[in-house]
């Protein structure tokens, strides 16, 4: 088994200290505290999966630079501009690149890089021989093995082709609040499940989605559909 670890969320979490009181500082100021926390969480994940699988290789991804999606619309992730970032975040990204030999890209996001490697490896040796390790829901658009290490879940998902296709088009409808993407305000999972219930093939999903975009955006339907697709579909090439 090859593990593809999306380390961005781990890096971000490693910058936060456990607070005993609300007035305590929420960020680490000593880089060794952050690196120790990262290593501990990272190894906990690897060790857990080693108890289940024969791990041949672990590939780490983090800190990609630039983002083509922000060229598509200025609204992409605009809701994060006022977010306070940990002071050690940049140093932690450098640490992981140096110490864990993490892979990063330019002009794309880290999850695009993971998606590219997953697709290439799964095509080469089979989808049951590679697993994505991440708390990011975006990976559910692929028929993959996905380990969600979040403390509320800690589950291994085996996503089928049908589930992956539904997950992608469901995302088009419900949007992604974390990335400030929402083309159909007020429409959630219940609407998506009912609206897409008869879809089985990519053609059927695409046609059904385009009908919804035409109803919502009239003459701008094609533009908005292509925009939505490029914002939410991870790149595998």
pLDDT band at 65 (very low <50, low <70, confident <90, very high): confident
The residue segments making up the domain with residue 197 are 162-232
3-state SS assignment for residue 226: helix
Residue 21 has pLDDT above 80, yes or no: no
Q: 71 and 182: one domain?
A: no
Q: Which helix (H) or strand (E) holds 235?
A: none
Backbone angles phi, psi at 91, to 5 degrees: -65, -35
pTM for the predicted model, two decimal places: 0.92
Q: 181 and 147: one domain?
A: no
pLDDT at 24: 77
Residue 57 has pLDDT above 90, yes or no: yes
Could you tell me where the DSSP H helices lie in 51-150? 69-72, 89-99, 110-125
pLDDT at 18: 83
Kindly state whether residue 237 falls inside one of the protein's structural domains.
no
Among 159, 193, 218, the domain-final residue is 159
Q: pLDDT (tens digit, 9 = 90+) per residue, 149-159?
A: 997 878 999 99
Kindly state whether residue 64 falls inside one of the protein's structural domains.
yes
């Amino acid at each position: 088994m090859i593990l593809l670890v999306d380390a961005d969320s781990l890096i971000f979490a490693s910058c936060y200290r456990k607070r005993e009181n609300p007035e305590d500082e929420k960020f680490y100021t000593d880089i060794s505290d952050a690196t120790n926390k990262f290593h501990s969480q990272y190894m906990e994940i690897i060790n857990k999966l080693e108890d289940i699988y024969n791990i041949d290789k672990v590939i780490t991804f983090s800190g990609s630079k630039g983002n083509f999606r922000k060229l598509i619309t200025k609204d992409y992730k605009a809701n994060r501009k006022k977010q306070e970032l940990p002071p050690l975040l940049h140093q932690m990204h450098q640490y992981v690149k140096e110490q864990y030999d993490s892979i990063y890209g330019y002009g794309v996001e880290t999850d695009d890089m993971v998606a590219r490697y997953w697709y290439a490896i799964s095509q080469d040796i089979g989808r049951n021989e590679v697993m994505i390790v991440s708390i990011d829901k975006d990976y559910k658009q692929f028929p993959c093995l996905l380990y969600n290490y979040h403390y509320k879940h800690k589950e291994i998902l085996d996503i089928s082709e049908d589930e992956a296709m539904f997950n992608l088009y469901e995302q088009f409808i419900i949007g992604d609040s974390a990335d400030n993407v929402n083309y159909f305000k007020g429409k959630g999972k219940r609407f998506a499940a009912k609206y897409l219930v008869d879809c089985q093939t990519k053609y059927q999903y695409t046609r059904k989605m385009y009908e919804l975009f035409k109803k919502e955006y009239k003459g701008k339907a094609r533009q908005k559909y292509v925009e939505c697709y490029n914002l939410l579909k991870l790149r595998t090439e």
